[in-house]
Amino acid sequence: MAIILGLESSCDETAAAIVRSDRTILSHALAGQEDHHRAFGGVVPEIAARAHVELMTPLVEAALADAGLKLDDVDAIAATAGPGLIGGVMVGLVTAKALAMASGKPLIAVNHLEGHALSPRLIDPDLAFPYLLLLVSGGHCQLLRVNNVGDYTRLATTIDDAVGEAFDKTAKILELGFPGGPAVERAAALGNARNVPLPRPLKGADEPHFSFAGLKSAVLRAHETGQYKIEDIAASFQQAVIDCLYDRITYTLDRIDPPAALVVAGGVAANLPIRDMLETLAGNRGMRFVAPPLWLCTDNGVMIAWAGAERFAMGLTDGLDFVARPRWPLDPEAAPARGAGVKA
Ligand code: KG4
Ligand code: ZN
């Protein structure tokens, strides 16, 4: 049984966790940086990188202490090596390299998106490959067929904003605070989703992709009229996102041989109305629905340690010369999607 230490530092969460290959989480240390970034209304990359430097070593020490382990007891050290804010990614990756070198244990360079993508398999041992994954985070909105560890087929992506980005920008427009996603969800629960007319970008389009930039602009225009309650705008926005996701996933499902399970991962997967919609959609299609628990949806070290465990089991380790990557698509073969802001 392998014991893997996993480090995460690609955005504004610093985290270290230890996971065993039998799916036991031995420890889980995480420090959010909201207080560092709140005054700026968003994550400031340079501030994030400096905070990771301060937080990472104490978190590694805490993860080892909580698990009752020494570095020597660990079989491999995994770290997010991209994609993400490059200064932060380098902090976690360099820390992992130093630990690997000091202990003589192998390094595993983990794609952050693969951390999200495989995290449902940590919780659900019956979740077999292939599965259909909706990956929705601050930087991505993609529909992927997860064929195996390290083997993904991108079926759809956003042509402009990521869905989490749309939540964050909506929160900023509505002055709901930071971080934006949970704030919009809370406000939406108090509003009426039918009160504000908002568009459903690309709904019914004869292409599989997503788009959210127009929705965010429509939120701004609706807010500027001064006619609508904040809660109603939030609820109407969230409903528009749900309708778009439903329409786009259905488009793809109508055109593929659907795998047995629909899986959601990434920070936006913490949104309960979105999860409810996906569960209904999966049920209608005779598919199983799998979602990680809420704490495992947003960035954390456990998902990186688990992806490390999956890769370690396949003999996939990396050299200490592995270079941090600001961009790193899960499916490098995917054709570029139209749109200026496409990230992968
Ligand atoms: O995966 P994640 O923690 O970081 C990235 O890899 O991007 O995702 C963060 C994103 C943010 O945009 C945040 O606003 C969004 O996930 N998010 C949510 C919720 N919780 C986090 N969006 C909607 N509803 C939520 N409850
Ligand atoms: Zn993430």
**Residue whose CB lies within 8 A of the most ligand 1 atoms, among 296, 298, 327, 328, for a mutation test:** 298
pLDDT at residue 52, rounded to an integer:
96
User: Closest-lying ligand to the alpha carbon of 164?
Assistant: 1
pLDDT at residue 335, rounded to an integer:
85
Q: Show the DSSP H helices in the chain as ranges.
A: 34-37, 45-67, 86-103, 112-123, 163-173, 180-188, 213-224, 230-253, 272-284, 294-297, 301-313
Tell the residue number behind the tokens 């690609």, with chain if given. Answer: 10
The single-letter code of the amino acid at 4 is I
What is the tens place of the pLDDT at every residue in 131-141?
999 999 999 99
Please give the backbone phi and psi of residue 177, each rounded to the nearest 5 degrees, phi first: 100, 180
pLDDT at residue 40, rounded to an integer:
86
- Looking at the chain, how many residues does it have? 344
Judge residue 293's burial from the number of C-beta atoms within 10 Å of its C-beta, 0-12 exposed, 13-18 middle, 19 or more buried: exposed
The single-letter code of the amino acid at 87 is G
Global pTM? 0.95
Contacts of 212 (CB under 8 A, 6+ apart): 141, 158, 160, 161, 162, 163, 165, 166, 201, 241, 244
Residue numbers in the chain where pLDDT is lower than 70: 339-344
Contacts of 176 (CB under 8 A, 6+ apart): 170, 183, 184, 187, 230, 234
Strands 76-82 and 3-8: parallel
- Strand order across the beta sheet in which 107-111 lies: 25-32, 13-20, 3-8, 76-82, 107-111
The single-letter code of the amino acid at 41 is G
User: Closest-lying ligand to the alpha carbon of 166?
Assistant: 1
Q: Which two tokens stand for residue 305?
A: 């340690």
d(CA 134, CA 144): 7
pLDDT at residue 266, rounded to an integer:
95
What is the tens place of the pLDDT at every residue in 224-258?
999 999 999 999 999 999 999 999 999 999 999 99
Using the atom order of ligand 1, give the atom closest to the CA of residue 272. 26
Pocket of ligand 1 (CB under 6 A): 11, 137-139, 164, 167-168, 179-182, 185, 266-268, 270-271, 298-299
Q: How many other CB atoms sit within 10 Å of the CB of residue 257?
A: 7
pLDDT at residue 339, rounded to an integer:
67
Using the atom order of ligand 1, give the atom closest to the CA of residue 10. 6
Nearest to 215 by CA among 258, 256, 247: 247
Using the atom order of ligand 1, give the atom closest to the CA of residue 266. 1
CA of residue 224 to ligand 1 center, whole Å: 25
pLDDT at residue 221, rounded to an integer:
98
pLDDT at residue 163, rounded to an integer:
97
